Structure formats: C-alpha cells, structure tokens
Amino acid sequence: MRSLLLRNLFFTILQPGIVVGLIPYFILGERIQIIFAQPLTTIQYMAAIVFLVGFLIMSHCIISFAVRGKGTLSPADPTKQLVIKGLYNYSRNPMYVGVLLMLLAQAFFFESNTLWGYTLAVFIAFNFFILFFEEPRLRKDFGAAYTAYSKKVRRWF
C-alpha cells in the first residue's frame, strides 16, 4: 500500500501538477504577482471556489484509482480493476473534468486569454488521448465490463 501511495503521489505531481501548475505558472509569469498585489474581485473568489471543486474532484478520482482500482492515474501504471463507482457513476472521465475546472478557474482568476487558449488545447488533447489511447486500452483490458459501462455512462457528463 505504501508503494501505491508513493506512486500516486509521484504521478499526481508529474501529470496534473505539470498541466495545472507548472505550465500555467510559466504562461502567467509576473502576472501572478501583479494579480495577488491587488484586492481580489468577486469573480476571483468564485474562480477560487471552482478551482477547489476541481481539485477535490481530481483528488477523489486519484484516491478511487488507488483504493478501488489498485493503480494510479498514469497510463504507465494503470489501475488493475475498472473503477466505475463514485464520480465514475456520472462521467467516465471525472478526473479530466476536475483538471479542466482548475484550468478554467485559473483563466478566470488571472483574466488570461493565453490560459483560455491553453485550456482549450488541453481539452482537445484530452479528447484525442481518451479516444485514441485510453478507451481502446480500457476495452482491451476490461472487455465486456468496460463496453457495458461506456454504454451506461457518458464520456464527459
């Protein structure tokens, strides 16, 4: 269990950490300090709440992957069991939804057109990854169980 915890921590920092943290940090640069030097607006407070919701969704999914799936969020160390409970009852990809909520929140919070464009690019990349890599792997690994699940639960909402 300790090994699984460490692997999940590593892949969380590596994958969503880079997508939601490091790349937006590089995109925003000095704008971060400028924004935080001013009083926050209502929109920024709302964006912070959306970010928190996205973070909680992502965290719940990572925990579900570890506890129910006996694996990690990474394709390099995937789950051993199909995870279809919890938030996965409502979306086949709630972790991606959580990440996108965090990116949308950052775009609102920092009023950054570049972050809006980056968020759109990430959404498109997620779709391609899901369609051409993740879903075929899940069909191969979990067969009829995944096919039945995908007929019952929509890809996004």
Number of domain units in the chain: 1
pTM here is: 0.93
Residue 154 backbone phi and psi in degrees, to 5:
-70, 160
Cα–Cα distance measured from residue 99 to residue 57, given in angstroms and rounded to the nearest whole number: 8
Name the helix (H) or strand (E) containing 24.
helix 23-28
Task: Tell me which residue has tokens 């999914």.
Answer: 61
Domain for residue 22, yes or no?
A: yes
Domain for residue 157, yes or no?
A: no
Tokens found for residue 153 = 């639960």
Q: What's the DSSP call for residue 84? A: -
CATH code assigned at 88: 1.20.120
Tokens found for residue 10 = 């590593």
Closest CA to 51 of 114, 119, 5: 119
pLDDT along the chain (157 residues), means of 10: 80 90 96 93 98 97 92 86 96 97 98 97 97 96 96 95
**In the prediction, which pLDDT does 19 show?**
96
Domain for residue 11, yes or no?
A: yes
Domain encompassing residue 14: 2-152
Span 111-139, pLDDT tens digits: 999 999 999 999 999 999 999 999 999 99
Are 23 and 105 in contact by the 8 Å Cβ rule? The answer is no
End-to-end CA distance of the chain, in Å? 32
**In the prediction, which pLDDT does 3 show?**
82
Residue 31: CB partners within 8 Å, gap ≥ 6?
110, 112
Domain for residue 116, yes or no?
A: yes
Span 13-23, pLDDT tens digits: 888 999 999 99
